Amino acid sequence: MEKEVQQLVEMGATAAQARAALEQYKDVMQAAEQIFDGKFDHIVDDEVDGDGDVQMGSSERAAPPPKVRMITPHEDEDDDEDAIGEDEDEDGSVEDFADYDSDDDAHIPVSSSVPSVDPYAGIFFSKDRREEVIEVEEEPQVVLVPEANIEVPLMTQGQWMKGCPEGSEQSFLFSLYQELSEGECNCPNGCGTSIKRKKSDFFSLFPDFQSYIKHVQELVLRNCTRCLKAFCFACGEPANIDQNRDTSNPEQDLALFHCPNLQGVILGVGLAMLEKVFIDETTRDVPLDKAKKPRTSSKRRKVELSVLLGGGSKHYDDDDDSDGHHSLIASKKKAKLGVGYAGDVREDNTGQLEAQAVQREKDDKLAELLKQIGGFLPSLHRPGGGRTSDYLVHPTTLAHLRRRFNFVGSQLLRNDSLADMSERSVLYFELLEWLETISCHEALASMMAMPIMVVASVKSLSPKKGSPRGSPAIRERTIIYEGSSGPRELLEAIVIQAHAAVKGLESAKPAEVPPEEMTEEQKRMTNDDKGKARAFDAGSSEENAKLLTFCKRILSTAKAIDRSLAESKGEAFVERLHAGLPQIPRSAKDADAVKVDAGDTEESAMKAYLEWANRVRFEYCDLTIARPDRDTKDEDTLPHYKFYYSNEARMLANSDIPKRSLAIAKELAVLTTNLPVAWNSSVFLRVDETRVDVIKALITGPEGTPYYNGCFLFDIFLGPSYNTSPPNVKYMTTGGGKFRFNPNLYADGKVCLSLLGTWSGPGWIPGKSTLLQVLISIQSMILCEEPYLNEPGWASGAGTAESRAYSANIRRMVVKIAMLGMLKNPPEPFEDVIRTHFRLKARSIIAQVDKWLTEDDGKPTLPDGANLPKTAGGSNNGFQTDVTELKTLLHQLQSGEGAGSS
């Protein structure tokens, strides 16, 4: 019994608690579960009498629950006094083997006096978690595997348990590791024979997963040397499996699916291999046939990977040699988009094809490994029916998936380029297959909604001394974990892009017309002549079909996950999950009509503004002009658009230009989730429901400029040669063609920008430049702080009186046209956006225009902005009148009296 007591003590229990639990529950695992469930919290060490019997004390003497701490191998007994025990979840409960998954009403708060059936109930969908864990690291042993004749490292206990901030999961991980690396396997037939397990049996880290599986296959079935009966070496239970079985297909080998123990260890080791390969392939920046960089450079690259892949690092210890799991993931600083006036006109594409080939090879390797490991995921839909381990899911399986698979999967899902994903579809198809398989199993489905715990910071502690047996030094680190978006939430961002891409591809298809009867001349055409006119589009059409197939797979995966969650967790669960997903209306009809409240402070207004702007920044709408029905058969049926380029759009009706369709689809996918929105300046887009090449944009002027909070409208048409050539862009906020707001924004609507080919400098790069770059260039480089300098002849006049006068003149025009004019006659389809923009920012705008009024130079407003008079033209230039009227409208919006206020 002392051995079992020591095991429980190592898990974090006191000796008294361990003895009391073992007297009531003879099995160590059952005793551990009850201890961690709080049943023996009232027992303390000094309540053991002389006979060794445990006396039941008062619950008032129970010690508070300790913090999470990884189990440190070979710790001295003196160190146990300072050891930090197992963690409890927010609701005070600890996990139970049978109730590992959530019930349908898991979100309902549970009284702390009653253990929750779902330890994650209180944190589902909530990313407001922060866990501090002390993790250990030790040098791995290397052993010779005789059957393979190779030396392989052994997975240490620290590696096995790394990345797990959940105390209940730690106990299961620790127990399985101890059982399969040090325990004895007794013959289940009672003959008294036992076989000693070694760490190399199940925890050998082979160079590839298939070698590991072959190794496990050869040892998992054992015949007792005394009674000659077969049993499973992983669980010690009888195994009625044919010893002469065919082991050529591991996924059909019943011996590998005999028990949950096998499932837990195979997935644990397999996912550790996957994580290592992912880190190695992601950090490697040389071709696969080249030698690896020195260790120090590799370590530095891994820190750079943490910056590249996006997980929110606060700080990182340089002396911490991470294996990648604890590499702090943050976003690499991207080059600014929309730099239309600077840079090199020509782009160096040297090595691009080689880089693509290297990426494909990396993706193929990762995809194959995902496929191999995925064959051992619990699945009741396995070909040939579910196996034993498919029904009996080991608790460590969810722990492994949440730690290691979530780490790899979340980095792949954070890719913000649908086009890049499509190019790497061989890898992403396997990732989607994993997500579907996980969501289909009731014991794992809740993982789709759980927040992913990512490393926020790492701090190394002083190395611990080795044991008297001469074990290597053990290093401890304090890891801070924070909650982040769960798998289903990350997938939703890709779903939004996929919807946009599908709409872009399908809306460009020409209307189907009945085939015409061939003429005699057409019938006499040779086979070589037929179809030549469209032969050059074959490659583009194939690329379109590839992207469309990939997008539809993404959408079907999301639907399959939601359907499985509804079946296992209930409709209410899925509804609650969807309420927290990114919401971008697909049409104006889907937009949330609930009035957004600005609150009483600027802080509350800013928060409300951001939530609202993110929701409405991109929408589809009807931009056609309604026409009266006519019975004339010859009447033109093509629609007209509320749009400067209506005639150009009508000319391209029913056209089929595959390259253009693909470029538009990719463009829309990016725009749906990447339009910049902020309190200081935002970009809103409206796309026609049936013609995705017909676009209207509204940009609000940036803070610190004379354009601040003004609303500026642009009509955009993606022409027949898009994206070989730039889009057509027309500036529409001109006061009826009278006001020129910038040297680069003409009164006739011309937009001067090098990206558009209307200004000198680096131009449009086919296949690379984007509409998003154009929009951000206008927002940041044209609507700028000192617009006077945009005129080439005035470029050296920074800070001059002329520049200040030019900005003052623009401020007057902005109030008159881009504020007051927009509020009184908001253009379609931005009526609600404009009114809500001004209502939420009313307090800020009133203070802003008051300040502008005090700074005004009193000169008359000149629509052109050039040749301003040197002196003030009088005490009244109309600015005061415009400001007063604007403030009146803003007060009406705040009180809800404004016409059509939203």
DSSP state of 291: P
Nearest to 423 by CA among 366, 491, 363: 363
Please state whether beta strands 683-688 and 694-700 pair in parallel, antiparallel, or not at all (unpaired): antiparallel
**CA gyration radius, the chain:** 33
| Euclidean distance between CA atoms 839 and 605, whole angstroms | 10
Length of the chain: 902
In degrees rounded to 5, what are phi and psi of residue 547? Answer: -65, -40
* Dist. CA 856–CA 804, nearest whole Å: 10
SS3 130: strand
Alpha-carbon distance 244 to 230, whole Å?
12
Angle at the Cα of 512 from the Cα atoms of 511 and 516, rounded to 5 degrees: 130
* Residue 866 CB coordination number (10 Å): 14
DSSP 493-504: HHHHHHHHHHHH
Q: Which of 164, 440, 551, 752 is catalytic?
A: 752
Cβ contacts of 345 within 8 Å, gap of 6 or more? 761, 762, 763
Q: Cis peptide before 723, with omega less than 30 degrees from 0?
A: yes
Q: What is the edge-to-edge ordering of all strands in the sheet holding 711-717? A: 618-621, 683-688, 694-700, 711-717, 728-731
Three-class SS state of 1: coil
Cα-Cα-Cα-Cα dihedral of 200, 202, 204, 205, to 10°? -170
- Identify which of 811, 819, 806 has the alpha carbon closest to the alpha carbon of residue 870: 806
In the annotation, is 752 catalytic?
A: yes
Dist. CA 164–CA 283, nearest whole Å: 23
Q: Round to whole Å and give the CA distance between 391 and 444.
A: 11
Alpha carbon distance 94, 711 (integer Å)? 54
What is the rounded CA–CA span in Å between residue 238 and residue 231?
A: 4
Spatial neighbors of 264 by CB under 8 A, at least 6 apart, are 176, 394, 395, 396, 397, 400
Helix (H) or strand (E) holding 696: strand 694-700
Q: Where in the sequence numbering do the catalytic residues fall?
A: 752
